[in-house]
Amino acid sequence: MLSKEAREDLERQQYRIVGDHSAVKVCGWTKNLLRGRGGCYKLKFYGIMSHQCLQMSTSLSCANRCVFCWRGYKAPVSKGWRWNVDDPAMILDESLRAQAKLLIGYRGSDKVLARLYEQAGTVKHVALSLTGEPITYPRINDLLNLFNQRGISTFLVTNAQYPDAIRALAPVTQLYLSLDAATKELLKKVDVPLFADYWERLQESLDALAAKEGRTCIRLTAVKGLNMTHPADYAKLILKGDPDFLEVKAYMHVGASRLRLTADHMPLHEEVRDFARDVLAYLPDYEFVSEHFPSRVVMIAHKRFKQRGQWRTWLDFPAFKRLSLSGEPFTGLDYSKLTPKACLGVTDKKTPSKEESRARKLKREERYTKLRERLTTAKAKRAAEEGDENELE
């Protein structure tokens, strides 16, 4: 699937290639949480622990050339599968090994909380959304079943060009569908699809998503000056897909997208929030639930996840494992639980300036340093009381 040049390019970017067509890369939020700096929006919205999350894909190929994607044009594109098919058990085991090797440099670091590093050795979640289109891997269901058996929850993202594959999917903890524009003309401009019938494929994919009984989510990647338009048309497509959740997230000016877009295309958090409100005005059965300021993303949920006045957006992982392996029908609500109050609410907070962000970072660093000093002092005191000479050294 990969040329030698493309493989070397990915490895320079800290990707690790698994077999012929899969890849792993440690997410920046995984690194952040290991340092005690907080997790990604999936922690706040759904209860995913970032330091125990594996970010990977089962296919480096895609049927789109999205202008906002961080992929370079060396990455493979294809409408269908034309390569060898790796064994799913090998992909799972080698991906876990690759993740462990990528994290080995954090072991023993005074900037990393040892307890969190030890926990990171046990992967509890996989985000099948790193690069490419994971749903095209011919044995994706076998791999999903292996994840389910091991109690590893799955978030799988598809670009809405393979409706048949969506219909045939095995249980996924949360299935994402990317909705990158609200009109046929704009979708062609944003996604640069290979399929001539890309719009019809999107419509079918939305129907397939609506038929899913597990948890589903539609994601809008907001690119300023490009696709933050036509809120009523977005709402029509969202209603067609009937997702449990809607995430509106800012485009980030990273990777190869910098060759196609400028930093001005990256909206501020309040611009993302305002656009989400414009779309929400046409979605009477949905409400704002939460936001994650550092990621510039807001989460909207269907009111069916609000029971007795309380939101249930967090995941009950043991329940999903049990249900996914039972062979019996179940719904997304069957493995959802109460969202902590601290994770709720959308404010009118503004995106900080670069100077404000730098000052906050320095303040956090000082706070973490003081915390580490207190932990070290407490450990030494306990060792002295217990007469543990090894610990005192």
Q: CATH code at 331?
A: 3.20.20.70
Residues 174 and 57 in one domain: yes
Q: Which amino acid is at 123?
A: V
Residues 179 and 75 in one domain: yes
Last residue within a domain, chosen from 317, 334, 351: 351
In what side-by-side order are the strands of the sheet with 286-292?
A: 16-18, 22-24, 53-57, 125-128, 153-158, 174-178, 215-222, 245-250, 297-302, 286-292
Residues 369 and 255 in one domain: no
Number of domains in the chain: 2
288: left (phi over 0), alpha (psi -120 to 50) or beta: beta
Residues 80 and 136 in one domain: yes
Residues 362 and 330 in one domain: no
Residues of the chain under the 50 pLDDT cut: 389-393
Structure confidence at residue 389 (pLDDT): 46
Residues 75 and 33 in one domain: yes
Start-to-end CA distance of the chain, whole Å, equals 52
- How far from 32 is each of 38, 106, 281, CA to CA, in Å? 6, 11, 35
Residues 16 and 86 in one domain: yes
Residues spanned by the domain of 382: 357-393
Residues 151 and 78 in one domain: yes
Structure confidence at residue 223 (pLDDT): 97
Residues 57 and 42 in one domain: yes
What DSSP letter does each residue of 23-51 carry, written as one string? EE---HHHHHHHTTS---HHHHHH---GG
Q: Which amino acid is at 264?
A: D
Residues 184 and 267 in one domain: yes
Residues 329 and 386 in one domain: no
Residues 335 and 372 in one domain: no
